[in-house]
Amino acid sequence: MVVVEAPAGRVVWRANLPAVSCCDFPVFSTTPDVRQLALGGARGVEVFRSDGVRVASLDLGQVGSLNSALQLWSDGRGLVAGQVDGELKAFALPAPRLLWRAAVGSALLGLVLNEASGEVLSLTAEGFVALEGRRGTLRYRVRARGVRVAAAFAAGRGFVVAWKGADEVLGVGFLEGGSWRWQRRLGRVTVPLLEGDPSARWVAVSDLLGHAAWLLGAGGRLLWSADGTPAAVGLDRRGLAALVTKDVLEVRTPGAGTVRWRTRLPGRAHLVRLSGGVLAVLGSQDMQAVLPDRMWLWRVSR
């Protein structure tokens, strides 16, 4: 994990965890103000302050089962960590204390916390399981067949969920209280990346390898898409969207479609994020690159 000061690009500090194998991915969570960060992905979780001071170290205590999902509470006083075999554990912080544990099924793909509804949503290969966030008791379970990868974020009192099934096609929908408020199918992806505003009025969906991107409006209405070409999309919670098609990078107002800022990338994008007037693009100078190898930063005025 590398913490970078934006937009200067100065590396503030770094932290490393031992990788169990070359194919295990790190999992990562921050508080909304980024004053606390948690890094996992192996058999434990390390919690840091934004200045790099380690404040807690959690041993999840399961040999042979890796940490595959992680979510800090917004106040930094607790977190929920999930194992790939489907076991979840909630801990109080900074002095680690186990609050509850629950089993949600095999192949845990991710989890997300909604503090407005008090729920933790687990994304599994068999569907989506909501637990009561402070006690770990079951709220509801929504079945989905053959989920291979999934992502979600909290919105209102529900969750926007994106998932890829056996047909490789991406589905996305808004789930609240155990029922779908809306659903739609998009295109083929490797791994979905998902971002949106707190009310789910705008939803940005893109592909981990930068092959496709979609911007959705209220009710899942399609506003913009770029499929089969280098593309990425990101959202600022203040109401701006960053869109990349091939080497063209734009910042727009999602509803009106007005272009607020435009430039050309010296390469291609895999991931774009816009927050607090700072625009970050992870990509490569090589337009054919499969994986990103550099990051660009801009200051974008509103």
What is residue 18's predicted lDDT score, i.e. its pLDDT? Answer: 63
pLDDT digits (tens, 9 = 90+) for 91-139: 999 999 999 999 998 789 999 999 999 999 999 999 999 999 989 999 9
Check if the beta carbon of residue 131 is closer than 8 Å to that of residue 104: yes
What is residue 65's predicted lDDT score, i.e. its pLDDT? Answer: 63
The number of angstroms, rounded, from the C-alpha of 1 to the middle of its chain's C-alpha atoms is: 16
- CA–CA separation, 90 and 135 (whole Å): 9
- CA–CA separation, 270 and 283 (whole Å): 5
Listed in sequence order, the residues at least 6 apart from 171 whose beta carbon sits closer than 8 Å to its beta carbon are: 162, 163, 164, 165, 183, 184, 185, 186
- CA–CA separation, 245 and 151 (whole Å): 23
What is residue 22's predicted lDDT score, i.e. its pLDDT? Answer: 47
Other Cβ atoms closer than 10 A to 16? 10
pLDDT tops 80 at residue 35: yes
Listed in sequence order, the residues at least 6 apart from 167 whose beta carbon sits closer than 8 Å to its beta carbon are: none
Cα–Cα distances in angstroms (integers) from residue 52 to residues 106, 117, 120, 219, 299, in the given order: 34, 32, 27, 41, 25
pLDDT tops 50 at residue 296: yes
- Residues belonging to the chain: 302
Burial of 244 (0-12, 13-18, 19+ CB in 10 A): buried
pLDDT digits (tens, 9 = 90+) for 176-232: 999 999 999 999 888 899 999 888 999 999 998 899 999 999 999 999 999 878 899
